[in-house]
Structures are given as structure tokens and as C-alpha cells.
A and B are shown apart, each in its own frame.
Chain A
Amino acid sequence: MDQNSTLSVEDFVVAATSFYEISNRLADGWKLIKDENETYKTYIKKHTFLQVERDGVQSLLKTELVIFFNLSYGVPAFSFNIWNSSGVLLTLEEIRHMSFVTLNQKEFYSVITQQEHPIFLRPYFIVHPCHTAELLSALRQGSKNIIVTFLGLITPLLKLDLSMEYGL
């Protein structure tokens, strides 16, 4: 893979900052947490609520979304946790049923894994970054913000409700 396909930490921080500025303009609630000493630990996160319906039952879920930099792959990475209204963490199986695309267990489990978060050192669901670079390199030239572009890979899996104004 050519060097064009990966992102440097600096690229990531620039994109994260501009993403944060768009979010501020739209009052979308993303926060930018910068680590001045260890730049690669810079991340953006958002706490929000998801309304889902399953088997005719509506429920409100608390969601924490974190976009951080994957140092090994040189790409943005997506991690999240979802809790139900009693504060219980959702299982991967419950999350699978919420996604737009119908994926079987094997396929879904090969994309999202619960693992120790490289920054928080706590368990998070993390989307595998193995194909991110390939796709981002295709769109990198024309993209206005690589993190917005990157989130396009996540939207089919998880309802993000990202405002269309991010694309303008």
C-alpha cells in the first residue's frame, strides 16, 4: 500500500480539529480532547442518545462515540459503548440487530470487537481498521474532511445521525 493511504498523527489532529469546528457550528456536541505531550492520544468524542425500536418496543440508549487515531494502521478508528436506560452495557448481539445492514454473526463479529481501548484502557467496541486505509485512499484526494469521509464507513453499521451539513 502506498504511503498516500495512511494518515500521520498531525493529519489526524488537523482533521479532528476541523471536524470539531464543524460540530460546534452545528451545535452537534462533539468534543475534542487534545493530548499535548502524546499527540497520538488526541481524540474526539460525543455523548448522545439513540432511540431504537425492536419488536415494537421503543427504547432510549445512552451512547458514547469516540474517534481516535490508530497508530499501527495510520488511520482514524471508531470506538463506542452503548448502555440501556438501566445502565447495562449492550451486548454485541444487541448492537448487531440495530444496524442498517443485515449481517450475520460471523461477519458482524469480524468487524466489531469488544477490546481494551488503547487510550482509555477500558473495554470498548472497536471497529476493525484493516480496510479503512484502502477506502480512504480512494477518497482522500477529493475529501474535505477525512474524518467525515471515514465516518461513512461506520454509518451502515451504526446509526450515527450525522448531519448532512458535515458534507458541505
Chain B
Amino acid sequence: MADDKQTEDSSTASEIKSDGDKENSDPGKSDKVKIDILLKATGNAPIMKKKKWAVDAEKPIGWIMEFVKKYLKLEPDEKLFLYVNQTFAPSPDQLVKNLYECFGTDGKLVLHYCKSQAWG
């Protein structure tokens, strides 16, 4: 990942880029609204070197889950769960902007993540 060089500096948010961005390659859409998210590990989940990310406000939570899974290099059979307020796990189709409106604090959205070997 291109961000690896600046992992030491976790105070600035860098953008999550993914293959998914190629799909909506509208030339005029470069000024998308970004939301800062802070990813925190709980339980036995490995920590992320870079915790703060700027994410397209229109992305669903499921997309962030996939990103974190890739970033942490989880096994395909490991599941990842994202929580807001350490209480509520939003549905994977929920949009980042909606969560930010509801749970955002100090200009960012804090998400806790944990992993498990299985559902249920």
C-alpha cells in the first residue's frame, strides 16, 4: 500500500484507496466529501499502524470492513466486526456519512473493530 512510508505519522489522515474507486470513475467527482475515521482494536484483534483514515462519505460500512480485513491480512475464514460506541454494530449497507451524523465526535467517527473465528 502506498501509505506504508508514512505509517509513523498517525496524526494525519490518509485516504483509503481501493479498486472499488475505479468503478465510479466520473471525472467531475474528484471533490467527494471525506470523513475522518479512527480505527481502534479491541479484544484479540491486531492493531493497525495507521489508525486514522479519510473515507468517502458515501461508502458503506461493509466496504470499510473489507478494507480493514485486507489491511490486517486476516485469513479468509476470520470475521471482522465494526462497532460504534463499542456498543452498536451498524449493518454492512449503512453509509459512513449516516454513522458520522449519528455518532461522530470531534470531527471524526471512532470505530472499534474485533475479529472472530466464526459468526454467532
B92 and A156 form a contact (CB under 8 A)? yes
A167–B89 Cα distance when bound, in Å, is 8
CB of A29 within 8 A of chain B?
Answer: no
Bin the interface of chain B by size.
Answer: 20 to 34
The count of chain A contact residues (Cβ–Cβ below 8 Å) is 41
B120 and A160 form a contact (CB under 8 A)? no
Tell me the smallest distance from the CB of B59 to a CB of chain A, in Å: 15
B120 and A138 form a contact (CB under 8 A)? no
Q: Is the interface of A mostly helix, strand, loop or mixed?
A: loop
Question: Which of A39-47, A52-60, A129-137 is found at the contact surface with chain B?
Answer: A129-137
B102 and A164 form a contact (CB under 8 A)? yes
Q: Is the interface of B mostly helix, strand, loop or mixed?
A: loop
Question: Which residues of B7-56 are within 8 A (CB) of A?
Answer: 42-45
| Given the contacts A152-B83, A153-B89, A138 and B119 also touching, CB distance less than 8 Å | no
A127–B116 Cα distance when bound, in Å, is 15
Q: B83 to chain A: which residues have CB within 8 Å?
A: 139, 149, 152
A145 and B87 form a contact (CB under 8 A)? yes
Residues of B within 8 A of A (CB): 42-45, 62, 79, 81, 83-94, 98-99, 102-103, 112, 114, 116-120
Residues of A within 8 A of B (CB): 78, 100-101, 103, 110-112, 127-132, 134-135, 137-139, 141-145, 148-149, 151-157, 159-162, 164-168
